[in-house]
Every structure is written in C-alpha cells, then in structure tokens.
Structure 1
Amino acid sequence: MLVVTGRVTARPETFAALREAALAHVARSRAEPGCLKHSVHVDCEDPLTLFFYEEWADRAALDTHFARTGSHEFMTAIRELAATSTRVKVLPIVERT
C-alpha cells in the first residue's frame, strides 16, 4: 500500500473555487480501481490550506490515477488557484501481521 499526502494553500479570493475543485477530484478518485482512501481536509491552523490524504493499493493504481485526464485538470486548477503548494509525498507502507 502507498500513502500519498499533499498540501495546497489558496488565495482568499480563490479558496471557494479551489475547495470545489478539490472535492470533485476526491469524488472522482474514490471511484478509481486501487483507491482505498482519498480525502481532503481544511487545516485548522490555516483555513486557506487544504491537506490531502490518500491510500492506494499499489504503484500501478497510483500511476494510473496520476495519468488520468481528471488528475491533470486538477493540477491545472491548483496552478491557477493556489498561492502555494507542496510537492506530493508518496510513502510506501509495510503492513505486518
């Protein structure tokens, strides 16, 4: 399993549009094969910042997700609406029994 995180901060005048784009992206992503969890949260310390948390079954599912048109469109929206963003972090998780 892979965990993916990211953070994006909107400008005050673009927060509503960025939040709407993020929620649409999350809903689309949840329907994709291999998506175990996909969520977006407003940062309690900075209400203009959105934090993304995702879990993917494997690298192939994540690569397919990144290649989708919807993912490219969302990244374009981030570039247009965000004041800042962080690089996406992909963390492999080893589950032990």
Structure 2
Amino acid sequence: MIVVTGSVTARPDSLDEVRKLSLEHVRRSRLEPGCISHAVHVDCENPLRLVFFERWADRAALLAHFAVPASRDFVRALQPLAAAATTIELYDATRLEKL
C-alpha cells in the first residue's frame, strides 16, 4: 500500500476556493481504481492549511492517479491560490494486523 500525505496553505482570500477545489479532487479521486481512501482535513493549528491523507493499493494505482488530467489540473489550479509551496510525501506501507 502507498500512503500519501500532502498539504496546501491557502491565502485568506482564497480559502473558500481552495476548499472547494480540494473537496472536488478528493471526491473524484475516491472513484479511481486502487484508491483505498482519500481525504482532506483542516489543520487545527492553522485553519488556512488543508492536509491530505490518501491510501492507494499500489504504486501503479498512484501513478495512474497522477496521470489523470483532472489531477494535474487540480495541482495547477492550487498554485496561484496558495500562500506557500504545496507539499507531498509518499510512503510505502505495510498493514500490521496485530502487534
């Protein structure tokens, strides 16, 4: 499984648009093959920062997601609305059933 975390910090005047675009992206991504979960959350310490948490079945599913034109359009649309550079981190994860 691949875990993806990311974030975007909106400018105060762009927060509503960033939230709208982010929710559209999350809902669209959930329908893609190999998407286990995809969510966006508001950072409790900085309400202008939205944090993404995603789980994908494998690297191929994630690469297919990155290749979807709507995914690339989402990233391009966020850039002028952000107060700082967006972040993304990828992790290869294995689920532990019991400790």
TM-score (norm 2): 0.93
- Residue ranges of structure 1 left out of the alignment (5+ in a row): none
Confirm or deny that 1:75 pairs with 2:75. Answer: yes
The 4+ residue runs of structure 1 with deviation greater than 4 A are none
Aligned to 2:15: 15
Hey, what's the Cα distance between the residues in 2 that align with 1:19 and 1:85? 16
- Residue ranges of structure 2 left out of the alignment (5+ in a row): none
Q: Give me the CA root mean square deviation.
A: 1.0
Superposition pairs of residues 2-81 of structure 1, within 5 angstroms: 2-81=2-81
SS in 2 for 1:85: coil
**Equivalenced residues, count:** 97
Q: Deviations over 1:40-69 (max 9, x none)?
A: 000010000000000000000000000101
Aligned to 1:84: 84
Hey, what's the Cα distance between the residues in 1 that align with 2:66 and 2:56? 12
TM-score (norm 1): 0.95
